Amino acid sequence: MKEIFYTDKSGARRPFWQPWGAGCFGRLLLFMLLMFVFFFLLSLIRQCDRNDKGMEPDPGDIPGWILNPGSDADTTDTPGAGDPGTPGGGYGSGREGEPPAAGMPGQIENPGPYLPPPDRNFIPPVDDGDIIDDKDNGTRIAANRLNVMLNSTAGDEVFKAFSEGFKKAYPDDAYKIVYYNTLTKLIQLEVPPAQRPAVKRDLPGKIPDISFKVFDETMFEGADAGRPSDVGFSDDDLAWYFAPIQAYDAWEITRGSEDVTIAIVDSYFDMTHSELESSRVVKPYSVRFRSSDVRPTRDCPDDDGTFYHGTAVATFAAGTADNGVGLCGIAPECRIMPISLGHQFTSMKMLEGLLYAIYQGADVVNISIGQTFPEMARFVPIREQVRRAEMYGVPEEDVWQYAFDLADERNVTIVWAAGNSDVYANQDYSKRGRNTVRVAAVDRRLQKASFSNFGNIPALGIYESTVSAPGTEMLTASPFNSFGGVGGGTSYAAPVVAGAIGLMKSIDPSLTNAQIIEILQKTGKPLEKSPEIGPLLQIRDALLYVKGQFSEFDDVKKNRDSLIGTWQATDMMSRIQGRDTVHNAVKVYFQFSSPTEGVVRLYEANTTGYVYSAPLSIRWEENRILMHRDEAVSPENSFVCYSSKNYCFRADDEGLLICRQWDPGSKGMLEDEYYIKKISDDPEINIRDHE
């Protein structure tokens, strides 16, 4: 729901077969010759196209509609060209250097001499020769890059001031800013490799007037879902994992809401796939090209896992139901925000994708990406693995925790794939946030998959794994609107959980990350044979737990005093100021001191922290409670107010207490409808303290 935030107020032509100057037989021969030439040229074009893509499929094994998806790929060959949500997408471009698509966020029109101009503002790829092993942290990093994260309130002038401070401190041309994004508050620096450690250590002291964090450009990989091997998907065994997690029963409660958006931060996406219908896709974004074109590119080999990884992950979370093909995602009626990193994953790209999702209003973010570890790492004693996790990657952990806290403030839930190296997952510093959901994988036996990383070490009193979900022998969607066969990995377990959280938030969008984690663990099925990972996801039980917070309307009607206390709306509002919308900014509370007296409080949770209040006039009727408030004001900001509203408490189809809301001048036209839940019997609790 939303409330407006006010500031200051020619001749016909004959068919070729009709007489027009030559004999019929001659015209027929000419026509056949032209058709032969046409098809010959077409075959050459197709052969060149196939060779450019590095594809040499056996036509006997792969259907023709996969090889030729039905459009001239050359007409959609550049980033941003065409509509990635319409048929005929084919490949995107493999070329760097194309200007970002017009209107993409994060640019400064006149950035000054030290920030890249808009037409060259890309995250540059890291050359293989610049990647080194960081032996202290056990990671691979870019030797000539450093990343900077500014405070979430930083605007254009702060970016310019940082660039001037950086060049004053390091005037040599070998030190430069190669990328920035004012939306995600990120900057990338290029520095001489030998000086990188010193710059990382000294830079904050050289620009003391600006708050920021400095961290390495770490190289990541997808969580290695195996390359699918089969095309068939008609075997009933392919749907094996839906029943153990109660998906069928959960869909009797909800299949998701279009008001809930699940972002998938991954490689590439085929947005023409039947499992990813364009009507549910919002704000697609290519981090690599600064455009909305998220398709696989020509320079990504089709036998590379990143070629299909994003498409597959997105469908596990929110693939379409009832379309007659494949299976479907766990939340088939939620919206999807595809965020493409390309096929080189770095900490800068991952943070850029994550922060884009947070700032653009995603409700859930799935990241099936992480650090990989050598094969021998699984044989390192567990105490040594824990020691390494406690010692190394602390500065990087701090950067990720800052992003996690931003997500917390905006009620965005981050879901991670634990990884596939069969090691203690916290060695990957991007997965140490306790306000994120970390997902391990189980196999058909409902035991830890042999490859899955883990987070629980009961002997040491460590419990870091949130929940587990199926992650083996699962049908995968692939580019060109196809299905590649079966595969597995924590990459696939994580979006199953992301979809389940999408269903939970479809019922109660106000759920905090701490509440979601608690519900998943309370309702999950303990795995006695796999104590090193979290309980198995049980979606129906989680949804019933969420609905159990709501009150019966008849109970309130029979005992009017039960209204006394503090209630919270399950929906949150977006604050609108001019043309700008701040997503999920305002939480709504009703505080009733008696059945006939009350106050509405509007809390700007993730922006100002101000509380705006207005008294309620209350009238009880037979089957509803009618309320009105005037403009809500705050003593902390006398220049603005929230517009007046009417409210109606009544019963929904199940008898639960629900609130309808509308503007007084709209003649009763419904603006929004949501559940309210009682959070305290005290009508005077401090909203900020509750938060």
Query: pLDDT of 120-178, one tens digit each?
Result: 888 888 988 898 887 666 678 899 999 999 988 899 999 999 999 999 999 999 999 99
| CA–CA distances in Å: residue 471 to residues 76, 321, 496, 601, 610 | 35, 20, 9, 44, 44
3-state secondary structure of 648: strand
Q: Which of 435, 428, 492 is nearest to 466 (CA)?
A: 435
Least confident range from 24-28, 140-144, 415-419, 428-432: namely 24-28
- Given a contact cutoff of 8 angstroms between Cβ atoms, the answer to whether 144 and 189 are in contact is no
3-state secondary structure of 172: coil
Distance of CA 48 to the CA centre of its chain: 36
Residue with the bigger pLDDT between 459 and 95: it is 459
Q: Which of 384, 294, 375 is nearest to 336 (CA)?
A: 294
Residue 583 CB neighbours (<10 A)? 19
* CATH 3.40.50.200 at 223-547, yes or no: yes
Query: Rounded to whole angstroms, how far apart are CA atoms 545 and 557?
Result: 23
Query: Rounded to whole angstroms, how far apart are CA atoms 658 and 649?
Result: 6
What is the rounded (10 degree) CA torsion for 64, 66, 72, 75?
-170
- Given a contact cutoff of 8 angstroms between Cβ atoms, the answer to whether 439 and 417 are in contact is yes
Q: Which residues pair with 482 in a beta bridge?
A: 478
pLDDT by residue (tens digit) across 382-421? 999 999 988 888 888 889 999 999 999 889 999 999 999 9
Q: What is the pLDDT of residue 481?
A: 83
Query: Rounded to whole angstroms, how far apart are CA atoms 228 and 22?
Result: 58
Q: What is the mean pLDDT of residues 36-47?
A: 45
As a whole number, the mean pLDDT across the chain is 82
Q: What is the pLDDT of residue 6?
A: 39
Q: What is the pLDDT of residue 41?
A: 47
Confidence at 584, pLDDT banded by 50, 70, 90: low
Confidence at 570, pLDDT banded by 50, 70, 90: very high
Query: Rounded to whole angstroms, how far apart are CA atoms 244 and 495?
Result: 16
pLDDT by residue (tens digit) across 198-244? 999 999 999 999 999 999 998 887 654 432 222 332 455 778 899 99
Q: What φ, ψ does residue 656 adopt, rounded to 5°?
A: -85, 150
Q: Is 22 exposed, middle or buried (0-12, 13-18, 19+ CB in 10 A)?
A: exposed
Query: Rounded to whole angstroms, how far apart are CA atoms 85 and 329?
Result: 18
Query: Rounded to whole angstroms, how far apart are CA atoms 358 and 265?
Result: 11
Q: What is the pLDDT of residue 678?
A: 95
Least confident range from 76-90, 615-629, 640-654: namely 76-90
Q: What is the mean pLDDT of residues 355-382?
A: 90
Q: What is the pLDDT of residue 106?
A: 87
Listed in sequence order, the residues at least 6 apart from 625 whose beta carbon sits closer than 8 Å to its beta carbon are 556, 563, 618, 619, 648, 649, 650
Which two three-digit tokens encode residue 111? 């950035």
Indicate the pairing of strand 345-346 with strand 212-222.
Answer: antiparallel
User: Which sign does the torsion angle of CA 164, 169, 173, 175 carry?
Assistant: negative
3-state secondary structure of 482: strand
| CA–CA distances in Å: residue 453 to residues 15, 388, 398, 621 | 69, 15, 22, 57
Q: Which of 465, 530, 537 is nearest to 495 (CA)?
A: 537
Residue with the bigger pLDDT between 384 and 303: it is 384
The residue assigned the tokens 């990957």 is 428
Q: Count of alpha carbons within 13 Å of 173, Cβ hemisphere only?
A: 0
Q: What is the mean pLDDT of residues 292-301?
A: 84
Domain range annotation of the chain: 118-218, 223-547, 550-690
3-state secondary structure of 437: strand
Q: What φ, ψ does residue 536 adopt, rounded to 5°?
A: -75, 130
User: Would you say residue 588 has pLDDT above 80?
Assistant: yes
Q: What is the pLDDT of residue 396?
A: 85
- Given a contact cutoff of 8 angstroms between Cβ atoms, the answer to whether 487 and 476 are in contact is yes
Angle (nearest 5°) at CA 559 between 553 and 564: 85
- Given a contact cutoff of 8 angstroms between Cβ atoms, the answer to whether 366 and 317 are in contact is yes
User: Which sign does the torsion angle of CA 223, 229, 234, 237 carry?
Assistant: negative
* DSSP track, 58-87: -TTTS-HHHHS-SS-GGGG-STT-S-TTSS
Q: What is the mean pLDDT of residues 256-285?
A: 92
Which two three-digit tokens encode residue 236? 């009933």
pLDDT by residue (tens digit) across 78-103? 333 333 333 334 566 544 556 666 66
User: Would you say residue 556 has pLDDT above 80?
Assistant: yes
Which two three-digit tokens encode residue 477? 């969607």
Query: Rounded to whole angstroms, how far apart are CA atoms 89 and 230?
Result: 24
Q: What is the mean pLDDT of residues 259-263?
A: 96
Which two three-digit tokens encode residue 642? 């929230």
Q: What is the pLDDT of residue 33?
A: 66
Q: What is the mean pLDDT of residues 619-626?
A: 94
- Given a contact cutoff of 8 angstroms between Cβ atoms, the answer to whether 355 and 341 are in contact is no
User: Would you say residue 576 has pLDDT above 80?
Assistant: no
User: What does the buried/exposed string (b/e) look like for 402-435 if buried means 16 or more CB atoms within 10 Å of the residue's CB?
Assistant: bbbebbbbbbbbbbbbbbbbbbbbbbbbbbbbeb
- Given a contact cutoff of 8 angstroms between Cβ atoms, the answer to whether 366 and 415 are in contact is yes
Confidence at 689, pLDDT banded by 50, 70, 90: confident
Residue 102 CB neighbours (<10 A)? 9
3-state secondary structure of 667: coil
Q: Which of 168, 165, 217, 184 is nearest to 107 (CA)?
A: 184
Which two three-digit tokens encode residue 344? 């080189």
pLDDT by residue (tens digit) across 477-520? 888 888 777 788 999 999 999 999 999 999 999 999 999 999 99
Query: Rounded to whole angstroms, how far apart are CA atoms 691 and 688?
Result: 5
Which two three-digit tokens encode residue 583? 């997503």
CATH of domain 118-218: 3.30.70.100
Q: What is the pLDDT of residue 146?
A: 95
Query: Rounded to whole angstroms, how far apart are CA atoms 311 and 316?
Result: 9
Q: Quick one: three-class SS letters along 302-357?
A: CCCHHHHHHHHHHHHHHCCCCCCCCCCCCCCCCEEEEEECCCCEEHHHHHHHHHHH
Query: Rounded to whole angstroms, how far apart are CA atoms 535 and 550?
Result: 25
Query: Rounded to whole angstroms, how far apart are CA atoms 364 and 436?
Result: 10
- Given a contact cutoff of 8 angstroms between Cβ atoms, the answer to whether 611 and 633 are in contact is no
Strands (E), 595-634: 597-604, 611-620, 625-629, 632-634
Q: Is 37 exposed, middle or buried (0-12, 13-18, 19+ CB in 10 A)?
A: exposed
